[in-house]
Chain A
Amino acid sequence: MIFCSDNYSTRPQSITLSSNLKTLLLLVIFFSLTGCGNNESNVSSGNKTGTLYWGNGTEPQSLDPQIATGVPEHHIISAVMEGLVLKNRKTLEPVPGVAESWDITENGRVYTFTLRDNARWSNGDPHVAQDYVWSWWRALQPALGNLYAYMLFPIENAQQYYEGDISDFNEVGVKALDDRTLQVTLNYPTPYFLQLLDHYSLFPVHQATIEKFGTADQRGTRWTYEGNLVGNGPFQLVDWKINRRIVVQSNPYYWDADNVSLKEIVFIPIENIVTEERMFRAGQLHVTSSLPADKISVYREAKDPELKIAPYLGTYYYRLNVKKPQFQDPRVRRALAMSVDRQRLVDNITKGGQIPAYAMTPPGTMGYYPKSNLKFDPEGARRLLAEAGYPDGKGFPATEILYNTNEGHRKVAVALQEMWKKNLNIDIRLLNQEWKVYLDSESAGEYEISRAGWIGDYVDPNNFLDLFLCGGGNNRTGWCNEEYDRLILDVAPSMSSHKERLEVFQQAETMLLNEMPIIPIYTYTSVQLVDSSVKNFDANIMNAASYKDIYLQPDQE
């Protein structure tokens, strides 16, 4: 019985199966044919509709400006929100944003901002000075877990409030004098304060929206999602599909809406930069976030005008753990730094137009060009090493370079390993660890030499030099010099002129280079592909695009 019934059931099924297969094959062929050749690329359709397709690295973790960290988040937030002050897209000089003007008292400590009469939130609500007081109060709530709270610390009593030393926010130096006037008092004159206002951690947030979806200091509420987010920037969020795209469209309530040319920006999260490059070639992107290192030379040789390489405010360097016996002697640290042929490294290994770095602060940071006595000098390096007790590298203890797993970092480490062997005759081993393990090892001081990079939050030498204060969270080398701390914390802020201040930084930098707890290697560059139809896209050292200025105009063929 069973056999019979099964036999009956198989027959029609096998026939259906094979006919299904045929249908499927036909369908596949059909779709292949319909997909052929007749698609208009994103770039050419976007150029007609005013839609910019932007390769944006990873999926953003959060669009809350007081929670977010990271470059992809920065791009989107700077399209939908705006601070009191903007930056000139070429020179990065402060230009009016929500504030149409500001006055600074002679002692450089009190800033009075006048807000624009026509400043509005993207839902039409009036945008007033009180919004900043509330937003900055929120930014300083420890429960919110704001990693950039320190950006507000130049404001009087902000740090004391954040650390719980004072509990009354009225004592913090930010006051709304009326709807259009905001007064900010600083601890001491801070020349880069206006720049900080263009950092998203100081952007205003819309109180009513945040309170609608949770309490002010609650993380992870849904206020930043499509349909909920209310911002004050040139664009507004209209769509957020996880791992697929984030779409923003021009905001009619924006104070300068008439001068915003783009109608829409589509941010596409693409983790794989090889895929991103292919998408660019297929016309699916106007701008990429990066370019694979081995493709850079191909584009360079072809003199492709779409390749944009620009200096970037960041330093690639190696930390030396001064707690380890072999690195307690500054001469050993100097010797290692002097035997690195940086020019050869950037020409042959990294190949992205990086600039050899002989100091921690990138040259040209707020007019600061660090003087350095560091140079490639293998002869001198050998002499120093011998003086320190390791003639011709003899007896040098086993030493490892720790780096996080990444092909680029590996290549640099291999190159340095080889240079140190050749120039100093010391054997260095390589140790790669997965990102979070590497972070753990580095913070715990369980390394001898460790790869590091620092990208500036604002353009000022302070942002690079205050990394190495005694016990600072980002120091991690174990190096501590009280005189250095005094220069950075007390002397530089008390200087009355910019020039004098830079001189103090130069002193500190020289001290750092003489003691060499770190080996500067190169200044980063930003490497991107930009379609020729994208206009007003000017590379700057912050790699920050000004979306309100960009317009699309295909070249005439």
Chain B
Amino acid sequence: MYRFAISRLLQAIPVLLMVITVTFFLVHSAPGGPFSADKAVPPEVIKALEEQYNLNQPVWQQYLSYLGDVLQGDFGPSFKYSGRTVNELIAAGLPITAELAFYAMLVALSVGITAGVGAAMRPNTMQDYLPMTGAMIGICMPSFLLGPLLVLIFGIHLDWLPVSGWGDIPGDKILPSITLGTGYAAYIARLSRGGMLEVLSQDYIRTARAKGLSERLIIIKHALRGGLIPVVAFLGPAFAGLLAGSFVVETIFQIPGLGRFYVQAAFNRDYTLILGMTIFLSTLIILFNLLSDMLAIWLNPKLRQEIRGTN
């Protein structure tokens, strides 16, 4: 397992290098510079700004010096937010986005697994059709529609929950977590239904039933572990997706997380902020994929055997 983890981490190095290189040259070749503005910018000002941010050097030289800084964990100053470093902006947004992603994941898991397992227990009955139809709607409903809908119903008409904010008013974390979690809950419901159906048809479940165990015990003790493997495999990319893709929910609910910076950075051609965020999120995605693979191996004896064999 350790060797597996270490080899995967080593593989991550060229991947990250590739990400940095491609992103660096892409953002630098995008039309429009970080300092262009609606009002004409005098040449003296452009010159001063380019000097300050080393943009007057050849691109390859900028690339090398940037790479050197990144190796030391320094993503440089933001071009747009004068005086802020990219590290500082990430540090400000990350805890909030991570918390949002965590709650959304809790919503997704609790709703998704309950619905999926329930559906798998009585396939092709109403107990199956209803939650699966719900899941289909959940997958199809984009968060930019669901969010405002929830706000209109629970925030404005019923006046039960705050319409925006994060940690400012009690209860303001509920609607964003549900909005962000719903799509994932729907996926998880379908994955866990499929996984459970497959497991429930296995011989060892029949054995358990033959032993006279209660259905509840069979599900919890024997079936869940195997049935949720597809869900576990989905968790890594899902969590990374939640972190990187929370932009829409953050915008709807006015949440000061990472997503808003990411999109704004691209519009503003804030080179260092785009690069810093991309590198940071790529690293997270690689780590979460690794974690979910390790969890899947730990849950699935077959995979474990394979790893042993190859090692």
Chain A residues proximal to chain B, CB less than 8 Å:
2-3, 6, 10-11, 14-15, 18, 21, 24-25, 28, 31-32, 34-37, 39, 58-59, 61-62, 64, 67, 69, 142-147, 149-150, 162-163, 219-222, 224-225, 241-244, 268, 270-272, 274-275, 278-279, 281-282, 284, 434-437, 439-441, 443, 453, 472-474, 476
A284 touches B170 (CB 8 A): no
Task: Find B252's partner among A162, A241, A272, A443 (CB 8 Å cutoff).
Answer: A272
A440-B32 CB under 8 A given contacts A32-B160, A275-B164, A284-B165 = yes
A221-B83 CB under 8 A given contacts A35-B174, A147-B45, A162-B44 = yes
Tell me the nearest residue of chain A to B50, going by C-beta: A145
A61-B81 CB under 8 A given contacts A242-B93, A271-B260, A439-B37 = yes
B164 touches A278 (CB 8 A): yes
Chain B contacts of A434 at CB under 8 A?
32, 267
B38 touches A275 (CB 8 A): no
Task: Find B254's partner among A142, A222, A268, A436 (CB 8 Å cutoff).
Answer: A268
Q: Does B101 contact A (CB under 8 A)?
A: no
Chain B contacts of A59 at CB under 8 A?
81, 264
A282-B148 CB under 8 A given contacts A11-B221, A219-B52 = no
**Within the complex, what minimum Cβ distance (angstroms) separates B42 from chain A?**
7
B171 touches A31 (CB 8 A): yes
Chain B contacts of A3 at CB under 8 A?
301
B155 touches A282 (CB 8 A): yes
B45 touches A142 (CB 8 A): yes
Task: Find A440's partner among B36, B83, B252 (CB 8 Å cutoff).
Answer: B36
Chain B residues proximal to chain A, CB less than 8 Å:
30-33, 36-42, 44-45, 47-49, 51-52, 77, 80-84, 89, 92-93, 106-107, 109-110, 113-114, 148, 151-152, 155-156, 159-166, 169-174, 220-221, 224-225, 251-254, 256-257, 260-261, 264, 267-269, 301, 304
Chain A contacts of B38 at CB under 8 A?
439, 453
B83 touches A149 (CB 8 A): no
Measured in the bound complex, the distance between the Cα atoms of B47 and A21 in whole Å is: 58
Tell me the nearest residue of chain B to A142, going by C-beta: B44
**Within the complex, what minimum Cβ distance (angstroms) separates B152 from chain A?**
8
Please name 28 pairs of A and B residues whose Cβ atoms are closer than 8 Å in the assembled complex, sorted by A.
A2-B304, A3-B301, A24-B110, A31-B170, A32-B174, A35-B174, A36-B161, A37-B160, A39-B162, A61-B80, A146-B45, A163-B44, A219-B52, A219-B83, A242-B93, A243-B92, A243-B261, A244-B166, A244-B256, A272-B252, A275-B164, A275-B253, A278-B148, A278-B152, A282-B162, A436-B31, A439-B38, A476-B40
Task: Find B225's partner among A10, A278, A476 (CB 8 Å cutoff).
Answer: A10
**Within the complex, what minimum Cβ distance (angstroms) separates B203 from chain A?**
15
Chain A contacts of B44 at CB under 8 A?
142, 162-163
Chain B contacts of A270 at CB under 8 A?
254
Which of B51, B148, B162, B269 lies at the interface centre, i.e. has the most chain A CB atoms within 10 A of its CB? Answer: B162
Sample of 14 further A-B pairs with CB below 8 A, known A14-B224, A32-B174: A14-B221, A28-B107, A31-B174, A37-B160, A39-B162, A61-B82, A67-B82, A142-B44, A147-B42, A243-B256, A275-B251, A436-B33, A436-B268, A439-B32
Chain A contacts of B49 at CB under 8 A?
145, 219
Task: Find B42's partner among A15, A149, A441 (CB 8 Å cutoff).
Answer: A149
A35 touches B225 (CB 8 A): no
Measured in the bound complex, the distance between the Cα atoms of B80 and A146 in whole Å is: 14
**Within the complex, what minimum Cβ distance (angstroms) separates A326 from chain B?**
25
A242 touches B92 (CB 8 A): yes
B110 touches A2 (CB 8 A): no
Measured in the bound complex, the distance between the Cα atoms of B154 and A278 in whole Å is: 12
Task: Find B161's partner among A32, A145, A435, A476 (CB 8 Å cutoff).
Answer: A32
**Within the complex, what minimum Cβ distance (angstroms) separates B188 from chain A?**
13
**Within the complex, what minimum Cβ distance (angstroms) separates A26 from chain B?**
11
**Within the complex, what minimum Cβ distance (angstroms) separates A417 from chain B?**
23
Chain A contacts of B89 at CB under 8 A?
242
Task: Find B48's partner among A6, A18, A143 (CB 8 Å cutoff).
Answer: A143
B40 touches A472 (CB 8 A): yes
B251 touches A15 (CB 8 A): no
A39-B225 CB under 8 A given contacts A145-B45, A220-B82, A242-B84 = no
Chain A contacts of B267 at CB under 8 A?
434-436
Q: What 10 A-B pairs have minimum CB-CB distances, sorted nearest first?
A: A35-B171, A473-B40, A436-B32, A243-B256, A62-B82, A244-B256, A220-B83, A282-B163, A142-B44, A220-B82
A147 touches B41 (CB 8 A): yes
A62-B83 CB under 8 A given contacts A3-B301, A14-B225, A271-B251 = yes
**Within the complex, what minimum Cβ distance (angstroms) separates B297 from chain A?**
12
Chain A contacts of B77 at CB under 8 A?
220
Task: Find B156's partner among A18, A219, A281 (CB 8 Å cutoff).
Answer: A281
A436-B269 CB under 8 A given contacts A14-B225, A36-B171 = yes
Chain B contacts of A443 at CB under 8 A?
36, 40
Task: Find B36's partner among A31, A224, A242, A436 (CB 8 Å cutoff).
Answer: A436
